[in-house]
Chain A
């Protein structure tokens, strides 16, 4: 080692190795004023170059080391993670989605279905978990002295029905005033909820709603609905509009039935009566107890909606044929018919499904034509229910459709024509009504008008909305509890007459 070569201070290099600062390294490489360069310039070339080469190598080594140093302070290494390529993750999600889909049916039912957790724990009965029929039986069934067998107090049908009403909650009463529809061929959550939670009074089945597929399915469906309803207390009215002709809901099960128009054309009441008997037989075999027929509109103008559905354009023929059909239908006492569509669609061309029809006939015309069949048949005492539809009678009440008009429903049908049976509304969710009223408004106004059984709810949500509307009207005083009780009494009386309610045994 050449002693003339000044020793480079070790500290300077160490500082560079430590990575404290890059400036000394730059300075070492710079061909200018450092001591190393100065030596090179003084002529001690060979030895100096060798040393410089060594220095350069060292600097490069230091730089290399520095570049390999971690850029962050040493921290705890993160836990190892599983990384899955996007494609595999997507396939996994797809496969799990299939599992979710298959598990949904059974798993979801635990949260909401008729066999869900809450219903298993709380039972399937309605709001107050009380069966009014059981309560009445308990009240009537008493044992005066220990050891003596219990006896049941004799009771008349009217007293029995009043006792049931006294033991019903408001929710149960309002439920009885609802005739609901649903979509599907089996006992799905919607209809199960409407029967079990809202205790609806009746269910209307339609082919268009996929309710009627075949005999076995239909019988099973009705049986299941009736089973749950009876378990809760009051059996259901199971309704259908089996008119024959174009409105033949059972055509795929029992074959075609003649239309009312073709029956009317024969002017032979015995044929109509025979059709009534046959319809009753078919309907009873499936479990139906309410037929929304016959149509007693006196058809005087062309109305495509009524084509083939009326017995004719003469009030007398319509009355005679409808009477005969009704007698045949109700002969067994297991199925009741329903006259429709009060106050009459014979003079309108508008379909109430899509709009509210206007009737400009005078009251005397209405009495002599449209109401003639109603008056005659009501007087005979064979009519248990009448359906009211949505046309506006300008001669009576131009402010509201007949369904929601007190003057038409109570004023004409109850007071003038003297009908004491069940008044059923046409569907309150038809466009003619929904264009003007919300479901809750329509329901409240229908009850105020005097209707007993409200049609239109097809989901629990719509049903809840309609019931809420009536409750609000009760709270505001627009509807009294006596008014509700009167409707429920008529509905229960009809069910008693149908044999759905029986007096407690002595």
Chain B
């Protein structure tokens, strides 16, 4: 009987570890997915129309079909919230939720500095917009993390 109990106890410990791993991998996957979505926003519409000459919506929706296109902006905001929701600590929630924005912003700064010029990047409107992107993602991650406490989640 004692051996059975020991087994159960050992198994519960293993399950908890596996669950944590699964959640971690999910967070990483979601962060990667969000990074792709944000990076796609950097691609000029001209490139999409050149790659998809038969599509009249390529300039507007990029590579996404018309039916799917409305979902993409929604995902841009839902995914960081979900990332925050899955993170146990608020530090991780903010970090993973804002990584896509940092990457997107970094790529934009490099590309824009080359193409448009560095002075453009320090123009007040650009600074405001770019800071707002980070602020937006951080706030969404924070909302997700706080939502854990609404549901009293412990995973």
| Assembly CA distance A327 to B3 (angstroms) | 104
Chain A min CB distance to B93 (Å): 11
Contact with A along B22-44 (1 / 0, CB 8 A): 00000000000000001001111
Beta-carbon contact of B41 and A464 below 8 Å: no
Which A residues from 115 to 165 make CB contacts under 8 A with B? 115-123, 125-129
| Assembly CA distance A324 to B55 (angstroms) | 46
| Assembly CA distance A104 to B129 (angstroms) | 9
Beta-carbon contact of A122 and B47 below 8 Å: yes
Q: Which of B56, B135, B139 contacts A467 (CB 8 A)?
A: B56
Q: Which of A72, A103, A464, A467 contacts B66 (CB 8 A)?
A: A464
Does A256 make an interface contact (CB < 8 A)? no
| A residues less than 8 Å from B147 (CB atoms) | 89, 93
With A110-B130, A112-B73 as given contacts, are A118 and B150 in contact (CB-CB < 8 Å)? Answer: no
Chain B min CB distance to A93 (Å): 5
Beta-carbon contact of A89 and B150 below 8 Å: yes
Does B118 make an interface contact (CB < 8 A)? no
| B residues less than 8 Å from A118 (CB atoms) | 41-45
Minimum CB distance partner of B13 in chain A? A75
Chain B min CB distance to A232 (Å): 12
| A residues less than 8 Å from B132 (CB atoms) | 103, 105-107, 110
With A93-B146, A103-B132, A464-B60 as given contacts, are A127 and B76 in contact (CB-CB < 8 Å)? Answer: no
Does A354 make an interface contact (CB < 8 A)? no
Task: Please tell me the number of chain A residues within 8 Å of chain B, measured between CB atoms.
Answer: 56
Q: How many A-B residue pairs have CB under 8 A?
A: 156
With A20-B2, A468-B57 as given contacts, are A96 and B129 in contact (CB-CB < 8 Å)? Answer: no
Q: Which of A79, A107, A126 contacts B135 (CB 8 A)?
A: A107
Chain B min CB distance to A480 (Å): 18
Does B128 make an interface contact (CB < 8 A)? yes
Chain B min CB distance to A439 (Å): 12
Chain B min CB distance to A497 (Å): 30
| Assembly CA distance A456 to B44 (angstroms) | 27
| A residues less than 8 Å from B54 (CB atoms) | 471
Beta-carbon contact of B42 and A84 below 8 Å: no
Does A499 make an interface contact (CB < 8 A)? no
Beta-carbon contact of A460 and B60 below 8 Å: yes
Does A461 make an interface contact (CB < 8 A)? yes
Majority secondary structure of chain A interface residues (helix, strand, loop or mixed): helix
| Assembly CA distance A467 to B42 (angstroms) | 25
Beta-carbon contact of A119 and B44 below 8 Å: yes
Task: Please tell me the number of chain B residues within 8 Å of chain A, measured between CB atoms.
Answer: 57
| B residues less than 8 Å from A88 (CB atoms) | 149
Does B4 make an interface contact (CB < 8 A)? no
Chain B min CB distance to A228 (Å): 14
Which B residues from 69 to 119 make CB contacts under 8 A with A? 73, 76-77, 88-90, 104, 108, 111-112, 115-116
Q: Which of A89, A99, A121 contacts B108 (CB 8 A)?
A: A121
Minimum CB distance partner of B141 in chain A? A96
Chain A min CB distance to B58 (Å): 8
Beta-carbon contact of A120 and B154 below 8 Å: no
Beta-carbon contact of A198 and B59 below 8 Å: yes
Beta-carbon contact of B129 and A110 below 8 Å: yes
Beta-carbon contact of B129 and A107 below 8 Å: yes
Does B122 make an interface contact (CB < 8 A)? no
| Assembly CA distance A118 to B149 (angstroms) | 38
Chain B min CB distance to A78 (Å): 8
| A residues less than 8 Å from B126 (CB atoms) | 115
Q: Which of A103, A116, A117, A171 contacts B136 (CB 8 A)?
A: A103
Does A81 make an interface contact (CB < 8 A)? yes
Beta-carbon contact of A83 and B45 below 8 Å: no
Does A100 make an interface contact (CB < 8 A)? yes
Q: Which of A92, A115, A123 contacts B44 (CB 8 A)?
A: A123
Contact with B along A189-200 (1 / 0, CB 8 A): 000010001100
Beta-carbon contact of A72 and B46 below 8 Å: no
Which A residues from 8 to 47 make CB contacts under 8 A with B? 20
| A residues less than 8 Å from B13 (CB atoms) | 72-73, 75
Chain A min CB distance to B10 (Å): 6
Does A302 make an interface contact (CB < 8 A)? no
| Assembly CA distance A118 to B136 (angstroms) | 19
Does A435 make an interface contact (CB < 8 A)? no
Beta-carbon contact of B143 and A96 below 8 Å: yes
Q: Which of A79, A84, A107, A468 contacts B133 (CB 8 A)?
A: A107
Minimum CB distance partner of A466 in chain B? B56
| B residues less than 8 Å from A86 (CB atoms) | 149-150, 152
| B residues less than 8 Å from A105 (CB atoms) | 132
Q: Which 9 A-B pairs have the closest CB atoms?
A: A122-B44, A106-B132, A89-B149, A107-B132, A107-B136, A468-B56, A103-B136, A197-B59, A127-B49
Please name 19 further chain A to chain B contacts, defined as beta carbons within 8 Å, in addition to the given A75-B9, A90-B150, A115-B129, sorted by A numbering.
A84-B146, A89-B147, A97-B143, A99-B135, A110-B130, A110-B133, A111-B76, A115-B125, A119-B44, A119-B45, A120-B120, A122-B47, A127-B46, A127-B50, A128-B49, A129-B46, A171-B59, A197-B60, A464-B59
